[in-house]
Structure 1
Amino acid sequence: MLSKQGVCSRSEAARWILAGRVRVDGRVVRDPEFPIVQGRQRIGVDDDAVVAAERIWLMLNKPRGLLTTASDERGRDTVYRCLDDAGLPWLAPVGRLDKASEGLLLFSNDPVWAAGITDPATGPDKTYHVQIDRLADAALLARLVAGVVSGGTTLSAKSVKVLRQGEKNAWLEIVLDEGRNRQIRRLLAAFDIQVLRLVRVAIGDLELGGLAKGQWRRLTAAEAASLAPLPS
């Protein structure tokens, strides 16, 4: 319930509960799976009543080299470096971009909305601009859409087109309608193609646009609702 109200992550809520910091109707609860009926029970943390946080949705232009995680045991930089000193409440990444990838990354404290974004069946398409280490022809584009089985999983693109080509490499626009882990890199690697750069430029109708690298902005409720239904 704490995570659903945008107060903290599920893992953080579990730690608070196990530490005896959470009360339900005045009684300490130490079971993270304790059933709660929303609106019928009083929840407190450290003797303070829990108030649902303002729902926030924001987009970040993720720079290359940052991990999409709240903290790293090896002390490497994470995407939260871009949000430092912003006065924001707890926010979680919505989906991921790997360390070497860059571009549009969403954050929110609205887990229901986030689940709608990441749902492989109903979530919005994701659009990427990808620089590869070779030229691309129609046959290659067709193979990427047809897909390949890798590790027991079928990897494919919804659509692929050439944006521009040089003498030795090409930029492709690749659209995915599901987001498996490192899907584009694994798909291209299956055809012995190296990714030189990978930039997510859009999620659904929301485009990265002119947002500077490392910068972020809040989404309007209308923009958020265009990607996934907002809880009532």
Structure 2
Amino acid sequence: MKTAGKKAGTGVPLARALSKMGVASRTVASTLILTGRVMVNGQVVRTPQHPVDMRRDRIFLDNQPVRPRTKVYLALHKPPGVVTTRQDEKGRKTVYDALGEWGKPDGQWLAPVGRLDRASQGLLLFTNDTQWANHLLSPESHVAKVYHVQIDRHLDEPMLERLRSGMLLDQEEQTRPAQVRVLRQGDKTQWLEITLREGLNRQIRRMLEVAGAEVLQLIRVAIGPLQLGELKKGECRLLSPAEVAALTAPRADSDRPA
């Protein structure tokens, strides 16, 4: 069987095309391609970056035609202690262990929309609709993410205002303005509600570290209009068409700072 040469012109890289069609992650798709299991227009392709036209080219995996999968939108209440990745080199549990049938390797490939670190919990979305996911992740979309955060001390009003105004992290990254309010507090701890419209790596933990506080619990309770609600830790559910549409609908306050 012949191996296809590099296709002239522009297109979507083959590994990305397989990911967009819900076959596998780009990493797994690249392995499928390198091992000769993928054909394009009757020829084996072993180059993950080989450009293809997803509307016209005929793509086969293990001699079976690859067609776009049904679009899936899933909400998970990520429990603490699991990592947001497909496989973990340290053998730790991942979010896919909590997805049940949806998380099986032979099922539809669903990618997380953003991340929550291992210690955090709360609302985490999954989909095979890359365009929808990219909209939610884009800073230009101004999709708000709301977190409830327990810290080990009380922050006074000047420090809360500093969090609201934006701050420099590690002398490298400047945060955008955020909404911050006190939910409740005990003798030694305080619960804050923090709303962000950006997603810097471990942003809330880093912001509060600059403020001199340690995060005890961090729960994402909403993404845009979608609430975590009564979804229990480790449970997932499909989003309704109305919820999917609401997450990408233009919002009247989208041009305001958080």
The Cα offsets for residues 55-104 of structure 1, whole Å up to 9 and x where unpaired, read as: 10100001111101101111011111111335752211110000000000
Which residue of structure 1 lines up, in the alignment, with residue 227 of structure 2?
Answer: 207
Shift of 1:132: 0.8
- Residues 61-76 of structure 1 aligned to structure 2 (within 5 Å): 61-76=77-92
Q: TM-score, normalised by structure 2?
A: 0.85
User: Are 2:120 and 1:94 aligned?
Assistant: no
Residue in 1 aligned with 2:140? Answer: 121
> Taking structure 1 as the reference length, what is the TM-score of the superposition?
0.94
- Counterpart of 1:155 in structure 2 is 175
For the aligned residue pairs, the C-alpha RMSD in angstroms reads 1.4
The alignment of Structure 1 onto Structure 2 pairs a total of residues equal to 229
Per-residue CA deviations over 1:109-140 (Å, capped at 9, x if unaligned) read 11111111111221511000000111233222
Question: Quick check: which one's helix share is greater?
Answer: 2
2:128 pairs with 1:109 = yes
Separation in structure 2 between the aligned mates of residue 53 and residue 102 of structure 1, nearest angstrom = 29
Alpha-carbon distance, 1:201 to partner: 0.1
1-structure distance, mates of 2:63, 2:142: 39
- State the partner residue of 2:149: 130
* 1:142 counterpart = 2:158: no
Tell me if the contact between 2:147 and 2:193 (Cα under 8 Å) persists in the aligned partners: yes
Task: Give the equivalent residue in structure 2 for 1:27.
Answer: 43
C-alpha contact (below 8 Å) 2:166/2:178 kept by paired residues: no
Aligned to 1:84: 100
Gaps of 5+ in 1: none
Following the alignment from structure 1 to structure 2, what is the Cα–Cα distance between the partners of residues 207 and 84?
22
Deviation at 1:160, TM superposition (A): 0.2
Aligned to 2:189: 169
Q: Which moved more, 1:115-124 or 1:72-81?
A: 115-124
Q: Which amino acid aligns with 2:201?
A: N
One-letter code of the match for 1:149? Answer: L
Q: What is the distance in 1 between the residues matched to 2:120 and 2:217? A: 7
Displacement over 3 Å in runs of 4+: 85-88
Counterpart contact for 1:90–1:109, Cα < 8 Å: yes
- For the Cα contact (< 8 Å) 2:144–2:223, is it kept in 1? yes
Q: How far apart, in 1, do the equivalents of 2:55 and 2:214 lie?
A: 52
Q: CA deviation at 1:9?
A: 1.1
Out of 178, 188, 192, the position equivalent to 2:208 is 188
Check the 8 A contact 1:101/1:198 in 2, yes or no. yes
Secondary structure of residue in 2 paired with 1:65: coil
Q: Is the 8 A contact 1:6 1:111 kept in 2?
A: no
The whole-number CA distance in structure 2 between the counterparts of 1:215 and 1:188 is: 29
SS at match of 1:16: helix
Given that 1:156 and 1:187 are in contact with CA atoms closer than 8 Å, whether structure 2 keeps it comes out as: no
Q: CA contact under 8 A between 1:101 and 1:199: conserved in structure 2?
A: yes
Identity %: 50
Is the Cα contact below 8 Å between 2:176 and 2:198 reproduced in 1? Answer: no
